[in-house]
Amino acid sequence: MFSYQDLSLIVCVAKHGSFSRAAKELHKVPSAISYSVKTIEQDVGTNLFKRLPRRVEPTSAGLYFIEQAQHLLEQMDDTRIQCQRLANGWTQSVSLALDNVVKQAPVNQLVRDFYQAFPDVELSISMEVFNGVWDALQDGRADIAIGATAAIPVEGQFINRPMGALNWRFVMSPSHPLASLHDPLDNEQLAHYPSICLEDTSRNIVKRTTWLLDNQRRLVVPNWHAASECLIDGLGIGVMPEHMAVPLIDKGLLVSRTLAQPMPSSPCCLAWRREQSSPALEWIISYLGDSEQLRRHWLEL
């Protein structure tokens, strides 16, 4: 009854709350959007949107239709992708979760070597923050995780290989008021300024915080790139992985200070589920190497 374009149009109108704004995104004129919505409503047998003076608003039936449309669009996209995978013989996939603290440089070489070794297997890579990597493993969204905290926060049969400890640097902009003070800086001096924190990507496991004092405001960002930009602009203070902070310090974009209560190093590990095994997964585990190689490639300066 409804095409992919019909469903996409309804979702787009709902997202913008306006025929004209939806028309702009879809490169159509507003009258064409209005006509298409009316035609779909006739097929459904009820109004999906209330027409208000400057906007449109979903009716109760419209809210249900939009929810179902989103599910159908996801299923249709997935069906198309799965058909392509089967047609090309890509019958398997391996999902790799990287904690945002690890270095990004080794990723491309890993992908290049993996696809050369396994031309019929897809590799899926996601970036997670803190307990998000364990959540991904537990939930089945990842088969293996690089940079997971060594303290396992979930139940399950997990195997882990130590990667060494991640060192932190307490940093701020050179123009920040704290930059001119003498080390070490105590909590009373620090608490007046926002702490730049990453949002833990865990969906089910209790979330962790980067570095935060009692009664201190947070500025929450999605990744270390955003955190570094905020720190450079003097929007707050915080800790960064040493291998990310030192290049910015060397360029004069950040300065490092000593804390009266230093941030301890964070042990990290490579982790995977015990019951999961495949030639592709075993290849990745072997490729990543022993604890020393893992530390050198993913955590070290």
Query: Which one, of 118, 125, 71, 121, lies nearest residue 96 by Cα?
Result: 125
If one looks up domain 4-87 in CATH, what number appears? Answer: 1.10.10.10
For residue 279, the model assigns a pLDDT of 86
Domain boundary assignment for the chain: 4-87, 92-165+267-298, 168-264
CA distances to 10, 16, 43 from 39, rounded to whole Å, are 11, 19, 6
Could you tell me the CA-to-CA distances from 174 to 167, 253, 255 in Å, in that order? Answer: 21, 7, 6
In this prediction, residues 185-199 reach a mean pLDDT of 94
Partners of residue 106 on adjacent β-strands: none
Please tell me which residue, 157 or 181, carries the higher pLDDT value.
181
Judged by DSSP in three states, 207 sits in: coil
Q: What is the C-alpha to C-alpha distance for residues 171 and 179, in angstroms, rounded to an integer?
A: 9
Identical fold, 4-87 and 92-165+267-298: no
pLDDT at 155 over 80: no
pLDDT tens digit string along 213-246?
Answer: 999 999 999 999 999 999 999 999 999 999 999 9
Residue listed under structure tokens 């025929």 = 19
| Average confidence (pLDDT) over 152-158 | 74
**CA-CA distance, 248 to 250, in Å (whole number)?**
5
- Which numeric CATH code is attached to 92-165+267-298? 3.40.190.10
For the domain bounded by 168-264, which CATH number is listed? Answer: 3.40.190.290
Cα–Cα distance for residue pair 60/47, rounded to 1 Å: 9
Q: What whole-number distance in Å separates Cα of residue 253 and Cα of residue 258? A: 17
The per-residue pLDDT for 278 is 81
User: In terms of pTM, does the model score above 0.75?
Assistant: no
pLDDT band at 152 (very low <50, low <70, confident <90, very high): confident
DSSP bridge pairs for 267: 165
